[in-house]
Chain A
Amino acid sequence: MNAPAKIQETKAEQSLNAQFDAIFAQTTQENANQRKQAWDAFKAKGIPHRRVEEWHYTDLRTKMNDAFALASKTAPKAEALKGAGDLKTHRIAIVNGRYAPDLSSDQDVAGLSIAQTNGFLAAQLGTDDAMAHLNQALVQGGISIKIDANAKIELPIEIVRYTDGSQVSSYAGTAVEIGSGAKALIIESFEGDADAAYQSNALTEIKVGDKADVHWLKLQVESAKAQHIETLSMELGAETNFQHFIYNEGASLSRAQLFLEFKGEGTHAGLRGTSLLKDNQHADITLFVKHAVPGCESREYYRSVVDDKARAVFQGKIIVEQAAQKTDGQMMIKTLLLSDTAEINAKPELEIFADDVQCAHGSTTGDIDEDLLFYLMARGIPEAQARKILVLAFLSEAIEEFEEEQCVELLEAMTRSWLHADDMVSE
């Protein structure tokens, strides 16, 4: 209330100071400027806290007790990386923020080029977020992925992001460029040593040309003690179809912040996802969808199941600029609270400056429908199992939107495994 007192630096911020000094000393001349600028931008804001509107429900300042040391280069065993499981893919492995060609598959694929980078992203980000700035200040490495115009990549491109070690942190910067008319499915997984406490901060820029067809599946299966922050900035060309899906299961604290901007007319974007939370997990999905040109369509559908003392946060903002007439934006957030100590905070926002638009958002929060439960139990299904059937059905509705059968199967298997993990005896 009083004149803003000088905010004391937290332990995490002090650790970050030392880490930056160390990494800055080793930075080459050509990148020094970018690193320093990002650091200054981060320092101006500090670690986000609840007084920062965008972070209101995820008070990182209190949740981030320390900033772990920057992870060094390691060589984990190939078996440690789970990725998309048995699916046949083009695998790209990123370990501790750095490209790991040894763990990646042969990259000789027509229309696809992968290159190791120092992780600095050239383009101006559409975001002025402290944690995105921090990524660029401490970035350890990254890759660039290019898909040529009109290339149709048959197999899914699999990006496995693995944090190796405990009490470490990794920062990766990834640039993805998808040419006009290209078609691709990307499956990206975030994982690490089971039971290890680590922090991963990923920053990814995706640029999609015109008339492309891109499907992106993110599997967030970090270790149960991990802290996961991902900033994704997307720019879409004209008449493109872009689908993004988040499967949110891991990490004690996770935040996915998605910034999407329509750059060309007649484009369709779908942002979807499911969050499966238990214990003391805290999962935050924050979207900024900016309609800057006319005639685009966006869909944001997210479903969460929250058990135990877990907490789900959803913030979605659809911005329709004055030029973006004929915009069609629909957002729907559904949450099931399975325990009396679970919590959901939702903030679906509309910010509209154009008049000829159709925008809507909806949100529902509640427990499993008693009538449905009764229906199943009346047919001899035990309550515990009936509940699981209903939760699975609730999540499947979102999963089934996926066009690729292989992704639907993968997601359903993961969902089932999460649901059955504890006490389910048989199908």
Chain B
Amino acid sequence: MAAVQETIDQVKAIDVDQYKYGFVTDIESELAPKGLNEDIVAYISAKKDEPEWMLNWRLEAFRRWKTMEEPTWARVDYPKIDFEDLHYYAAPKKREGPKSLDEVDPEILETYKKLGIPLSEQEILAGVAPENRVAVDAVFDSVSVATTFKEELAKAGVIFCPISEAIREHPELVQKYLGSVVPVSDNFYATLNSAVFSDGSFVYIPPGVRCPMELSTYFRINEPNTGQFERTLIIADKGSYVSYLEGCTAPQRDENQLHAAVVELVALEDAQIKYSTVQNWYPGDSEGKGGIYNFVTKRGDCREKNSKISWTQVETGSAITWKYPSCILRGDNSQGEFYSIAISNGHQQIDSGTKMIHLGKNTASRIISKGISAGVSQNTYRGQVSAHRKASNARNFTQCDSLLIGDKCGAHTVPYIESKNSSAVFEHEATTSKISDDQMFYCQARGLDEEEAVALIVNGFVRDVIQQLPMEFAVEAQKLISISLEGSVG
């Protein structure tokens, strides 16, 4: 019961309304003027010292975006966003580009320390077991402030750097792969991102390399009235392997802030990418005021045979989540996986799921989605599984389970299953239920109080997905789940 007790303690330590990461870092920032036009796009590009082809790419995206309309099909409800009332670029004022961690603004280092993200390599290098090492790219508002273990990774040939650096240093790779999974005009938010993205991570794993450590990016929105538009591109060359983690937090504010990211994964022959997210943006207060709008496009392309992409996500934050990490199973024998825990409490709205597009032969995909709704939240799973004519022997197994806590929330399941190949076998099952009285009685008869019983049952409900997370994340995620559900019982 130790684990359960730990969860309970964690929950108790935190007020219902208290978002742990809601503090603001007081630093001087450099902001682009509010609003969006070609000059702003050029401003961002110039700030990043980008080559001309990149600027043109952005401008092209911006022109496309101007012709597009905001999508309304998702089951989320929010006031119209004024895209002119945002700063599209915010960066901590820096002293001539920090060369090493020592030069990074101590305020920022302190922020990450508070968030529990270790940015100082020395301690880790000197300290504990080396297998626990994680290389971190820390993105603060619109810029990457630090990337750790770069040299160590470079020894293995792995490129891990902010994408703005990659555009300057590795243009051939960026030009080849950027926008090849999520095309510029893919959807409203992806196009907006293509025009104004400021930073994010770039990862390239050379052929045959198993990335020596976990890579991770930590996103932090700090500045008010800004949007964060990060762009991540991960390329796993033939026979390589990488595990990548992503975490996000933001200060507690009354206004809503926009986060529109694009993540592209490319897996070549025999390569494998494991992408894990723990999303904990500020969800708004108990009245539904404030919080992040999280409109994200994530897509992986199993471009060549025997490749594999696996998405694992724990979604607990954001006022609104609109996110569908997908896999395009193009290569023969390729595999896609999606494991998700989506928890909504308070006034949160989640519309999330995945797409598994089977194009190659003998492709397989697996979807395990666990949704938990509490408070007055709405939680929707929206997913698509499709097999094209040539996708012989495609296999999919989908399981979507929803758990409702309280009678004012909603849980919805909207799967689209499309098969054009008779040898494709698709199985889909979904259930919705609440924690049964029998389960509660059983636990309580054994001496657990109500909160402990709920924590235990919920942990059991999401176990399938938690198991897929890397070790360090699993513990963190488990605690996060209990915190998110705090106050939902009784």
Contact = CB atoms under 8 A, between A and B. Distances in A.
Interface of A: 1-3, 53, 322, 325, 335, 337-367
Given A345-B417, A347-B414, A2 B67 contact: yes
B150 interface: no
Contact of A352 (B68, B389, B405, B432): B432
Nearest 8 A/B pairs, CB to CB: A337-B422, A355-B404, A366-B425, A350-B413, A363-B428, A346-B417, A365-B426, A360-B431
B236 interface: no
A348 B68 CA distance: 30
Interface in B385-442: 389, 402, 404-434
14 contacts: A1-B67, A1-B68, A337-B419, A350-B402, A350-B413, A352-B410, A354-B404, A355-B404, A356-B407, A358-B433, A363-B417, A363-B426, A364-B428, A367-B422
B123 interface: no
Contacts of A362: 427-430
Contacts of B39: none
Given A345-B418, A360-B432, A365-B425, A352 B407 contact: no
A350 B432 contact: yes
B260 to A, nearest CB: 18
Contacts of B428: 346, 348, 361-364
A322 B407 contact: yes
Contacts of A344: 417-419
B78 interface: no
A355 B418 contact: no
Contacts of B434: 355-357
Given A349-B412, A354-B407, A343 B429 contact: no
B411 A350 contact: yes
B69 interface: yes
A308 B306 CA distance: 32
A349 B413 contact: yes
B380 to A, nearest CB: 9
Contacts of A360: 429-432
A350 B417 CA distance: 14
A356 B425 CA distance: 33
Given A359-B433, A360-B429, A362-B429, A348 B422 contact: no
Nearest to B188: A1
A97 B416 CA distance: 36
Contacts of A335: 419
Contacts of A322: 407-408
A357 B432 contact: yes
A268 B65 CA distance: 50
B306 to A, nearest CB: 24
Nearest to A51: B73
A343 B433 contact: no
A257 B405 CA distance: 33
Contacts of B422: 337-340, 342, 366-367
Interface in B55-106: 67-69, 73
Nearest to A307: B422
Given A343-B420, A359-B432, A53 B413 contact: no
A353 B430 contact: no
B419 A365 contact: yes
Nearest to A337: B422
A354 B411 CA distance: 9
B433 A351 contact: no
Nearest to A362: B429
Contacts of A345: 416-419
A321 to B, nearest CB: 10
A340 B389 contact: yes
Nearest to B191: A1
A53 B433 CA distance: 27
A355 B415 contact: no
A1 B187 CA distance: 10
Given A339-B422, A355-B434, A363 B427 contact: yes
Contacts of B73: 53
B203 to A, nearest CB: 32
Nearest to A346: B417
B336 to A, nearest CB: 17
Given A351-B410, A352-B411, A352-B412, A361 B429 contact: yes
A53 B73 CA distance: 9
